[in-house]
Amino acid sequence: MTKLVLLTGLLIACGGPATPPPAPPSAPRTAAAPAARSPAAGESRPSARASLYDRLGGKPAIAAVTGELLDRVAADARIKYRFLNTDLGKLKASLIEFVCMATGGPCKYTGQDMETSHAGMELVDDEFTALVEDLAGALDKFKVPAREKAELLGALGPLQPAIVTPPGRLKPVDDAAIAKTTAVAVKLGDENAIELMQAAIVAARRGQRNYADLLFSHVEAIVGAAAIAAAAPTFRDGAPPRIETPLRRMPKDTPPQPRLAGASDDDDPDPRRPASLTGTLTVAGRPLDGLGTVMLFPVKGGGKPRRPKLRVVEQRDKTFAPHVLAVPPGSTVAFPNFDGIYHDVFSISPIKKFDVGLYKDGETRELKFEKPGIVRLGCNIHARMSAYIVVVDAPHYVVVDGARPFAFRSLAPGRYKLRAWSERSAQPTETEIVIRPGANTAALDVDGDAAPGPGEDKFGMTRQAIEPPRAR
C-alpha cells in the first residue's frame, strides 16, 4: 500500500530527490499503474506465483500505460495545473522506473518518498478523485484484466486520508475577496490567463493558498502584474512582502556554489595576531549532522568591523547552495535559479521577511540584509528545500561543517562572548571564553531543539509530513 501512496505522490508532486523505497516482494499484492493484456486464445495464463511485473506484460506495457495516464492527467482541468512546473519527460521516466520496481521488475527507483511528495501541497478530495479516475481510464484503454485493475483501484481508496489535506488545515479566502477577483478575471482577454485565473480562484476558495498564489503568479507572467493588481491581495494577503525589482540574468554556466560559505579569516583577513582557536561543535552531546556557525565578540568591545559582501545563494537541482551562508550586515545576496523549473524563495523569519517570486533558467533577484540574526530560507513550491543566511555582527565568525573542527587563525588574547548555533537548534547558545596567547581549543555544545521536518510555508502554515496510510 505504501507503494501506491508513493505513486500518487509522484504523479502530483512531479518527481524529486533520490530516496528509494524498500525493495518489493517478488509477487507484491499492490502495485502502480500496470498495463496488461489478456492472454490470447490458446495462450497459457501466467502463473499465480509470477511477479506482477510479468503478469502485466513487462516494461513496454508499463511504459505505455504510464504515458496514457500522464496524457489524461495533463488534459484534466481538475488536476492538470499541478504540472505547470514539471519536466514531464523526467516524470514519465521516474514513474516507469518506480512501477517496474514496485511490481517486481528489474529496475531501481531513484525518486522521492511519499512524505517529501506531499508536504505542503494542500491536496483536496477532488484532485485525488481526478487522479483515480484518470488511472482507471488508462487501465481500461489497455484492457488491464479485472483482477489487476481491482487490486490497484481497490487499494487506492483507503489511501485517501494519507493523500488529502484535512479541511481544518486549509484557509479559505472569504467570499468578498473572491468576488473582487472574479470581477478582475472577467476582464482578461487571454484564454490561457482566464483559465489559470479561474483555477486560482477555485484554489483560493478551497483554502489552497500556496497553489492559488502559484497559479496567480502564472497569470501575472502572461498579462503583467498591473493588469491584475486589484486581485493580488486575494492571493497574497498573509504572505511576506513580494520583491518586485527587475530580474537579472546570470550565465547558465556559472559554477555551482559551495555547501557552506562565510569565515571572517577568509572574507576580510586580519593581520597575524598572537592567538588562535580551534574547536568542535556538538548538538545535545552528539556530533553535528549538518552545518552551524560560531561567532566571537570581544567582551570589552572593539574588533574590526567587517565589510558588507556580495554573495550568492543559488537554486540548482532543487537544492539551495550554500546551505548556510554567513555575511556581515549590509551584505547583498543574489538568488539565481539555475533549474529549468520555477522556484519561489521566501523567508518569514522576523528579521527579514520577503518573497522573491517565480523565475527560472539563470534569472536572479538581489536583496540586502541589514539586521543581524538568522534568516531561514524556503522554497514555497518545494517543501524539502531549505537554507540559512546568518547575518553576523561579530568581528570573528566561521561556518562549521558537521563534526569537522572549526578554526579562528588570528585573534587578540582576551575575554570573548561566544555565540554558537546549528541548523538543529532553535536559538543560538551563548557563553564566555578566555583566549590566551598561542593555540586555544574549545568543545562547544548547542541544543538540538529545532522543529523537525519541512518549515512553514510563506503563509505560516506548517508543511508537516502526511501521516502514513492506515493498515487494512
- pLDDT tens digits for 399-451? 999 999 999 999 999 999 999 999 999 999 999 999 999 999 999 999 999 98
Helix (H, G, I), strand (E, B) or coil at 241: coil
Helix (H, G, I), strand (E, B) or coil at 335: coil
Q: So what's the pLDDT on residue 168?
A: 84
Inter-residue long-range contacts of 171-177, CB under 8 Å, 24+ positions, other chains counted: 171/207, 171/209, 171/238, 171/459, 171/461, 172/204, 172/205, 172/206, 172/207, 173/204, 173/205, 173/207, 173/209, 173/212, 173/234, 173/235, 177/204, 177/233, 177/234, 177/237
DSSP state of 416: E
Instruction: Record the cell numbers describing residue 426, joined without a space.
Output: 532553535
119 — pLDDT class (breaks 50, 70, 90)? low
pLDDT > 90: percent of the chain? 61
Instruction: Record the cell numbers describing residue 296, joined without a space.
Output: 566571537
CA distance 159 to 167: 16
Give 34-71 as a 3 state SS string: CCCCCCCCCCCCCCCCCCHHHHCCHHHHHHHHHHHHHH
Asked if 156 contacts 134 with a C-beta cutoff of 8 angstroms, the reply is no
Count of CA atoms in the C-beta half-sphere (13 A) of 216 = 30
CA distance 129 to 135: 10
Q: What's the whole-model pTM score?
A: 0.83
Instruction: Record the cell numbers describing residue 125, joined without a space.
Output: 478530495
Backbone φ and ψ of 175, nearest 5°: -60, -35
Do the strands 429-435 and 414-422 form a parallel or antiparallel pair, or are they unpaired?
Answer: antiparallel
Nearest to 138 by CA among 55, 54, 63: 63
Tell me: the pLDDT tens digits for 266-277? 998 888 899 999
Q: So what's the pLDDT on residue 464?
A: 59
Nearest to 164 by CA among 295, 274, 305, 12: 12
Supply the mean pLDDT for the chain. Answer: 85
CA distance 100 to 23: 11
Helix (H, G, I), strand (E, B) or coil at 225: coil
153 — pLDDT class (breaks 50, 70, 90)? confident
